[in-house]
Each structure stands twice: as structure tokens, then as C-alpha cells.
Amino acid sequence: MKNTAIKEITAKKIVIVGGVAGGMSAAARARRLSEQSEIIVFERTAHVSYANCGLPYYLGGEIKSQAKLLVATPQDLKDKFNLDIRVKHEVIAINKEAKTVTVRDIAAGRDYQESYDDLILSVGAAALRPDIPGIDGPGRFVLRTIEDVANIENWIEQQKPSTAVIAGGGFIGLEMAEQLTKRGMAVTLVDNKEQVLSPIDIEMAALVHSELKTHGVKLLLGKPIVGFSQPEKYQAQEGSKPKSCWVHAGNEAPVAADLVILGMGVRAETTLAKQAGLTIGERGGIRVDSKLQSSAANIWAVGDAIEVLNPISQNWTLIALGGPANRQGRLVAENILGAKKTYQGTIGTAILRIFDITVATVGLNQNQLINSGRAFEALHLHPTNHASYYPGATRLDIKVLFDPASGQLLGAQIVGQDGVDKRIDVFATAIKAGMTMRDLAELELAYAPPFGSAKDPINLTGMAATNILDGLISQVQWQEIGLLKDIESCIVDVRTDGERERGYIPGSKHIPLQKLRQRYHELPKDRMIITYCQSGQRSYNAARFLQQHGYTVKNLSGGYLTWHAAESLNSEKANNLVQTLPCLSQSDCSAGAKK
Ligand code: FAD
């Protein structure tokens, strides 16, 4: 019953509102299935089927021609698919009883009715413009459409901006931070949260912060924008060329910006749906059933405008991504034409390049798991992308979250230079397939030294998690280090002298792994031992050795690399925390605290 194919196709009159990702996918699929159907697409902008995901790269100059963004013109679509594409036509009302829509022909300035058998809403999302004083002034742009791009391009040509503020550290904000930096602008990124990229956890975001700073992007995090003001007010004190505006964030001094990109999030476009009385979910998107039908018969909805069920949490959520929109469009076309296919939900597989690194995520992050009350174990690894002896190996920073009872993979995040994309796709496939960490340990993945390792990072993640599931090792997380009570634990650094010289967790005792067999008796048996190395792998060996000599041991997940990344977020706070670290006041441990 789940994915019943089409048995018999009856031609229909299908009206689609929105002619980009989900809408055009639905239109093309419907035509391939039914030559006899009448298919009309209404799009209120001047363009359909354009690559909105490519817009930042066009603005940055990586995509040279705007024409490249236009995947197909209305004429192409007429010629190829016999689609009736009506651009600059906005659907302003739905009459679900009469099964008609009211359409505004923007160019002609007239309204008319169009009937439908089935109506698909693929109306996308609208960029948020919060009610902040001055947000609508000149030089402040959102980025969603070709028209937005043209406006930003014109501004850049006229104003020749040398400074830019990106308001919001989400995917689009970060892509624009990269692209405007590459165009030579001094970029400041402002976000009211303490981290960029809220789909990933903060210690992973710390790696992104570091990359942004390395490339000159100034970060103002944890600072809500409270206003935009015009230059006159500040020009005297600035005494330099007029700026388009000043951005006021938190209590910080105002930041000059010749150009502002507003990447402050999106909201599902529900104007039409609300007017038609369709059910809107608690997350603010159009509520659909498992076939992607709205609360009204013969009205379907896809893409950024709908709420989707996350199959891991079973919670309704809003996920604005191109892949799901395209697949949903295809599925709805099939269901309209007689299939009974069920949408399997969206797990939020996403990827992003930021200068020299790639960041990717899938599934639930730690905050989402905490909020949904689901038990989880977090595991951090730092393997190389391919065999470390082969030239050019670089580090992958991997975090996975899994169910501590069943081992089911719940989420994964990766930051690295190379090989991030293929690993995140394996994790995404594993989540869709309901695989466990034990399954990941067993995956047979392609290996030759330039591409991977005999134990691929995916296998290593599965193996490390299996050790936890099998009770061979337990972990502490970087957040817990500062909270450990001094009578309870002793932190042991098993790295080399050279690694120790470059930094260590204050209060930790240093016994290199190679010397542990001779020196382990220096460690107190009445306290919990926390082992750490650079990545967590050597300290796992140390932990296993100590356990077998009667110690109670936990291994620091992700080792010094993860701890240090997180610590860099707030070194002042971390310094305070490490003052309370256990070993400082205990002689048998503090003896080794220096080195
Ligand atoms: P859209 O593709 O946004 O299309 C909605 C269309 O409906 C719009 O053209 C709008 O004008 C039209 N419309 C709305 N209301 C009406 C009406 N009443 N009448 C007529 N027309 C109407 N996703 C990724 O997965 N990867 C990426 O790298 C990525 N990069 C992105 C970069 C940018 C700059 C942007 C803006 C988005 C990016 N996305 C990315 C998100 C992705 O583009 C969207 O998730 C996807 O386009 C959503 O498809 P959709 O059909 O729901 O809406």
C-alpha cells in the first residue's frame, strides 16, 4: 500500500502556483505521465525554473552569466513539455468550492479566473524582514529571486561597496559572506545566536567560525540587530566616505555597511493557503497528509511552504531545501494522476562550502534531540579523508548522534576540506535505511589510498560507536569537563610531549600513551579517570588498558581537538571552568598538571 504505482491515468487540468523547484518538478513529471493533461504554471516573477541555489555564486562572480541561472525559459518549457507557463501572473485567491483560482496578470493589470481539477501550491518561502528600525532603507537586500540579484548587482555597480554586513549566519548568509569577501569587500557577519549555522552543534560551528575569521570575516555573534541608521548621523565621527548605513547590533559600536544582505531566515509562504482556509500547522507551514494533499480536496502543496514530518523525531518541521521540494513535486504529480505514494519525510541533508571547508549535516542535532526528549549518545571523530600516508590527506571533523540502546543513527555533522560530501551522503542513506552504528562498521566502501582508507571514516565511526554500545568504553563530552568535581576525577592527557607543548586542558596530568604501562600506578584508583588525546583514538587505547588494571575510566569524546574547538568559542568562560577542574587541588594528579 505504501508506494502504489499508477495503474490508470486519467487526463486532468492541473494548475500549479509557483514555477521554480517544486512547481516545475511537478509540471514536468505530470507531462511525462500524461500527454493529455492540461498543465498551467503561474509564476508571479518574470522567471521560472531558475537556479536559486546558484544566486550567491552568480553574485560572487563564480557563475559568470545570469543566463546560466535560467535552467529553462517559458518558451523552452512550452516546446519541450507543452507546458502553459504564465510568468508575471500572481494567484491572489483560491475558491476551493468552485475549484478556481483568481489570477492577476501583473503586466496587463487585470484579474481573471482559471479552473482546475487539481491545484498544486509550490509557493516557497518568504525571506524574513523583522520589524527592526531602518531595515527597509537603501542598500539592504534579501536574496531569493533573480530580481533580488539584479537589485543587488545594480547597487554594487552604483555604490562600489567596500564594506558589507551579513545579517544572519544561516546557509545563505554564509554563502554571501564568502562570495562578498571574494569580491573584495570587508564583511561583518552579525547573528543574535552565539553560533552560525544552527542546524549544527556549537562545537562544530566553532570550526566554521575559525574558517570565517581566517578569511577576514568579522563575527558579531550573540548580538541582535536593533537598528539600521543613515550615515549623516555618524558621518562626522566617522569622517570618511558616506556609508549606506550603520548597523547597530547589541551594545556594540555601529558597523558601517555599504551593502547589507538580510539572511535572517524564511517563513513558509502561506498567504494563499490561509485565504483558502487550508490548515496551517503549528510551525507555520501548510499542513499536508502523507500523500502531500492539503486539508482541502484536490489541493496539494510541496516545498518550502509545507510542514514535513521528520521521520526520526516524528515532529512536524519546516525544512527549506531544494532536494525535498523537487522530490515532493514529482510525487504530487504522480498522486494527482492516480498513484498513492507516501512521502517518507525529510531528514534535512544539507551541505555548504565556506572558503576552504565544507560543512554538512543530516538528521537531528543535539539540541533537537534534547528538545524531543530522546536519549542519545554523541560521538566525535577526527579521521583523515583518505589514507594518511597518501599525499594531501586532510582532517574530517565528524560528530554523530545515535540511540544508546538500539544504536540507530539519529544525526551526523561533518566539517572538513575534502571528502565531506560523500560521507554525509552515506550517513543520510544510513538514516533513511534505519541503519545502526553497528551496520556502519560493517559497510563495504570503496577504498584506494587517494580516496579513502581501508577503514573508512564511516566504518571508524561505526566501530567507535559499537565499542560504546558493547560497553567497552564510556565517554565524557567536552561540556562536562568543566563540571567534573575535583574529588571525582583525574584528567589524563596521553598525547606526546610535542602535542602537549602546543596546548592542553588545564589541570590535566600528562602521561604519554607510550609511558602509560610504566607510570599508570601514579593515577589514583579512587577517582574516575578521564583520558584524552588529540582525537580520542589513542586515549581509547589508554582507557582500555587502565580499565583492565582496575580503574574506572571515561574517554573524552573527540579529544583535545573537540574540546579546544568548543573552548575557543568562549575562552574566558572556559578559563573560569578549568579553574575548577579536579586535578588542580589533588596532589597525585596535580603533580603532572604542568606537563
Ligand atoms: P521556490 O523554488 O522558492 O519557488 C516558489 C515560487 O513561487 C517563487 O518563484 C514565487 O515567486 C512563486 N510564488 C509564490 N506565491 C505565488 C503566487 N501567489 N502566485 C504566483 N507565484 C507565486 N536548497 C538546497 O537544498 N541547497 C542549496 O544550496 C540552496 N541554496 C539556496 C540559495 C538561495 C539564495 C536560496 C534563496 C535558496 C536556496 N536553497 C537551497 C533553497 C531552495 O532553493 C528551496 O528550498 C527551493 O527552491 C524551494 O522550492 P519551492 O518550489 O518550495 O519554492
Domain boundaries along the sequence of the chain: 13-124+267-336, 140-264, 356-469, 475-594
Confidence at residue 572, expressed as pLDDT on a 0 to 100 scale: 36
Which atom of ligand 1 lies closest to the CA of 304? 52
Residue nearest to atom 45 of ligand 1 (CA): 321
* CA dist., res. 375 & res. 366, Å (int): 10
Residue from 52, 59, 85, 148 whose mutation best tests the ligand 1 pocket (most atoms within 8 A of CB): 52
18 lines ligand 1 (CB under 6 A): yes
Residues 511-569: pLDDT tens digits? 999 999 999 999 999 999 999 999 999 999 999 999 999 999 999 999 999 999 998 88
Cα of 224 from ligand 1 centre, angstroms: 26
224 lines ligand 1 (CB under 6 A): no
41 lines ligand 1 (CB under 6 A): no
90 lines ligand 1 (CB under 6 A): yes
Closest among 527, 497, 525, 502 to 513, alpha carbons compared: 497
Cβ atoms of 192 and 223 closer than 8 Å: yes
325 lines ligand 1 (CB under 6 A): yes
Cα of 19 from ligand 1 centre, angstroms: 9
Residue nearest to atom 41 of ligand 1 (CA): 321
DSSP 453-517: -SS-HHHHHHHHHHHHHTTS--EE-HHHHTT--TTTEEEEE-S-HHHHHT---TT-EE--HHHHH
Residue nearest to atom 30 of ligand 1 (CA): 53
Cβ atoms of 278 and 299 closer than 8 Å: yes
Answer yes or no: same fold for 140-264 and 475-594. no
Distance of CA 22 to the CA centre of its chain: 20
Cα of 588 from ligand 1 centre, angstroms: 61
Which atom of ligand 1 lies closest to the CA of 321? 45
86 lines ligand 1 (CB under 6 A): no
Residue nearest to atom 49 of ligand 1 (CA): 21
56 lines ligand 1 (CB under 6 A): yes
Cα of 71 from ligand 1 centre, angstroms: 14
Q: Give the catalytic positions in this structure.
A: 53
Residue 93, judged by CB atoms within 10 A of its CB (0-12, 13-18, 19+), counts as middle
Cα of 151 from ligand 1 centre, angstroms: 18
Confidence at residue 571, expressed as pLDDT on a 0 to 100 scale: 59
Out of 2.40.170.20, 3.40.50.1010, 3.40.30.10, 3.50.50.60, select the CATH number for domain 140-264. Answer: 3.50.50.60
304 lines ligand 1 (CB under 6 A): yes
Which atom of ligand 1 lies closest to the CA of 350? 25
Cβ atoms of 414 and 397 closer than 8 Å: yes
Task: Give, in order, the Cα–Cα distances in Å from 152 to each of 48, 216, 218.
Answer: 20, 22, 21
Question: Which CATH number describes the domain made up of 356-469?
Answer: 3.50.50.60
Confidence at residue 526, expressed as pLDDT on a 0 to 100 scale: 92
146 lines ligand 1 (CB under 6 A): no
Residue nearest to atom 18 of ligand 1 (CA): 91
The CA-CA-CA angle for residues 312, 313, 314, to 5°, reads 95
Confidence at residue 167, expressed as pLDDT on a 0 to 100 scale: 98
Cα of 584 from ligand 1 centre, angstroms: 55
What is the CATH topology of the domain spanning 475-594?
Oxidized Rhodanese; domain 1 (3.40.250)
124 lines ligand 1 (CB under 6 A): yes
Which atom of ligand 1 lies closest to the CA of 56? 34
Write out residues in the chain with pLDDT < 70, as ranges. Answer: 1-3, 232-243, 485-487, 570-595
Q: In the numeric block, which cell numbers belong to residue 245?
A: 548605513
Percentage of residues in the chain with pLDDT exceeding 90? 88
Which atom of ligand 1 lies closest to the CA of 329? 51
Chain position carrying cell 500549479: 16
- Residue 522: DSSP 8-state: G
Question: Which CATH number describes the domain made up of 13-124+267-336?
Answer: 3.50.50.60
Compute the half-sphere exposure of residue 458: CA atoms within 13 Å on the CB side of its CA. 26
Cα of 21 from ligand 1 centre, angstroms: 6
Residues 210-238: pLDDT tens digits? 999 999 999 999 999 999 998 765 454 55
123 lines ligand 1 (CB under 6 A): yes
Confidence at residue 4, expressed as pLDDT on a 0 to 100 scale: 73
Task: Give, in order, the Cα–Cα distances in Å from 284 to each of 17, 132, 152, 261, 420.
Answer: 19, 21, 29, 24, 32
Confidence at residue 66, expressed as pLDDT on a 0 to 100 scale: 87
22 lines ligand 1 (CB under 6 A): yes
Confidence at residue 156, expressed as pLDDT on a 0 to 100 scale: 94
pTM for this one?
0.93
